[in-house]
């Protein structure tokens, strides 16, 4: 099995989708302009998606007060320091910036809606790169 998407109930899905496209390089695969404003965002591998929506059937969690260890979205970053500085200028907030003994650089931020995003540059990559042609 492969992961298709991870879904989260958020306060402002359309505004959030726009930020993730512009600032995180995600691509809108499908988006509804009517409630619950369901939006599927794909990463550049076009193999994994995040689904965001505002569904009143349940609460929007208090992401701002959640510990990052409870929930975060992790992104591969070639230059976490540079990406951190850029995202801070675009409304993100710094949580932590760690250099690990194995050479990894992990930066934890909160997006403008309080959801934790992690920028990861691993000393040893955990996932093999695959070609977009299906390899």
The whole-model pTM stands at 0.90
Token readout for 40 is 């599927």
The whole-number pLDDT of residue 133 equals 53
Report the phi/psi class of residue 114: left, alpha or beta, with left for phi > 0 and alpha for psi in -120 to 50. left
Same domain, 91 and 113: yes
The backbone torsions φ and ψ at residue 104, rounded to the nearest 5 degrees and listed phi first, read -75, 145
CATH number of the CATH domain containing 23: 3.10.180.10
90 and 40 in contact (C-beta within 8 Å)?
Answer: no
Same domain, 92 and 113: yes
How many structural domains is the chain composed of? 2
pLDDT digit string (tens) for 25-75?
Answer: 999 999 999 999 999 999 999 999 999 999 988 999 999 999 999 999 999
Same domain, 67 and 115: yes
The answer to whether the bond into 59 is cis (omega within 30° of 0) is no
Same domain, 72 and 45: no
25 and 76 in contact (C-beta within 8 Å)?
Answer: no
Domain that holds residue 16: 1-58
Is there a domain that residue 12 lies in?
A: yes
């Amino acid at each position: 099995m492969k992961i298709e998407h991870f879904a989260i109930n958020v306060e402002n899905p359309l505004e959030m989708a726009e930020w993730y496209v512009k600032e995180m390089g995600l691509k809108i695969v499908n988006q509804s302009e009517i409630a619950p404003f369901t939006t599927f965002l794909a990463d550049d591998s076009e193999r994994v998606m995040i689904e965001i929506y505002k569904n009143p059937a349940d609460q929007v969690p208090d992401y701002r007060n959640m510990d990052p260890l409870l929930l975060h979205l992790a992104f591969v970053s070639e230059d976490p320091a540079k990406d951190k500085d850029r995202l801070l200028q675009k409304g993100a907030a710094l949580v932590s910036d760690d250099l690990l003994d194995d050479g990894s650089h992990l930066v934890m931020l909160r997006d403008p809606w309080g959801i934790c995003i992690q920028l990861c540059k691993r000393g040893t990559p955990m996932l093999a790169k695959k070609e977009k042609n299906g390899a």
